Chain A
């Protein structure tokens, strides 16, 4: 009569194998494993953070966006309100509105742009140092708004400069502009400065 065999190995064989593994581990575990940071001094251990270059660059860039002063029309008043103490963009490190485009990172296009003014806006954008961003604020900034189709109004800033974030409204409330600024910060956060070489 054939005996039913449930395992290749018998229970006794498995038990003795387990026993050998434990004995081997116990034999190799006499020494205490040292802390890998032990070679660092105590002061250094508390002050070194490891991260990626992108994360640091993006953190620095989005935490101090300085807008350039170029507000051609009435949305400027909502922007001024946003900058003033009630809404206070200095919470985002943005309270310095730069009079020189060479010191600015962000262009907030607050207002209707006429074709006669367009070359100056383009020039301001060209003078801003890289990296630079643009928020199109208000209906006129997005598409020309109620003046779309007029002989003198540019139908949207994106004909003149590349736009990153669009904030609708006529004019947008300061809350809307702040939301747009936060969207831009999210966008900057995802930015990659170093691209891996494709193989």
Chain B
């Protein structure tokens, strides 16, 4: 098992440069401002001692008031992991930065989230649907999706 780093532990290391970016440091996750996601992710990947070189998976949750993106990071070097989250309040055109430039494995998962949740990732090389076909009405994993079948 990888050792789960407590978010507050990370938060103290981040305080120097990212004090205004961290919204909330919970017991198991770090909630950050979505517009600074790329900066903090790049720091987590490259900082010696943290070295989160592997993105396990990304998912998104619809809380009706906002979308929350969840990223699970693992450092294969130090055998520890961390969960970071970012919120997106714009329902009409939700956008967050893409992490494909840091972890190539994010590419298909970000397309899946775009397909089913309708969240756009800017900076993604190929932002289009992956499961459903072009012209499908709406995004089916949203809470307000009305099933027309």
List of 8 A-B pairs having minimum Cβ-Cβ separation, nearest first:
A151-B140, A149-B149, A151-B147, A151-B149, A116-B133, A150-B149, A149-B147, A152-B132
Cβ–Cβ contact B140 & A115, under 8 A: no
Selected A-B contacts with CB under 8 Å, 20 pairs: A115-B133, A116-B131, A116-B132, A116-B133, A149-B147, A149-B149, A150-B147, A150-B149, A151-B132, A151-B136, A151-B140, A151-B145, A151-B147, A151-B148, A151-B149, A152-B131, A152-B132, A152-B140, A153-B149, A155-B149
Return A150 CB to nearest CB of chain B, in Å. 6
Chain A binding surface SS class: loop
Chain B count of residues within 8 A CB distance of the other chain: 9
**Docked CA distance A151–B133 (Å):** 12
- Give chain B interface residues in 103-149, CB to chain A under 8 Å: 131-133, 136, 140, 145, 147-149
**Docked CA distance A178–B133 (Å):** 36
Return A160 CB to nearest CB of chain B, in Å. 15
Write the residues of chain A forming the contact surface with B, with a CB cutoff of 8 angstroms.
115-116, 149-153, 155
**Docked CA distance A161–B98 (Å):** 42
Return B108 CB to nearest CB of chain A, in Å. 16
User: Which residue on chain A has the smallest CB distance to residue B147?
Assistant: A151
**Docked CA distance A149–B145 (Å):** 13
**Docked CA distance A152–B149 (Å):** 8
What chain B residues lie within 8 Å of A151 (beta carbons)?
Answer: 132, 136, 140, 145, 147-149
> Can you name 6 extra interface pairs (CB under 8 A) apart from A149-B147, A149-B149, A153-B149?
A116-B131, A116-B132, A150-B147, A151-B145, A152-B132, A155-B149
What chain A residues lie within 8 Å of B133 (beta carbons)?
Answer: 115-116
Return A118 CB to nearest CB of chain B, in Å. 10
What chain B residues lie within 8 Å of A153 (beta carbons)?
Answer: 149
User: Which residue on chain A has the smallest CB distance to residue B138?
Assistant: A151
Return A35 CB to nearest CB of chain B, in Å. 71
**Docked CA distance A149–B147 (Å):** 8
**Docked CA distance A109–B132 (Å):** 22
What chain A residues lie within 8 Å of B132 (beta carbons)?
Answer: 116, 151-152
Return A165 CB to nearest CB of chain B, in Å. 26
What chain B residues lie within 8 Å of A149 (beta carbons)?
Answer: 147, 149
User: Which residue on chain B has the smallest CB distance to residue A148?
Assistant: B149
**Docked CA distance A155–B148 (Å):** 13
What chain A residues lie within 8 Å of B147 (beta carbons)?
Answer: 149-151
What chain B residues lie within 8 Å of A150 (beta carbons)?
Answer: 147, 149
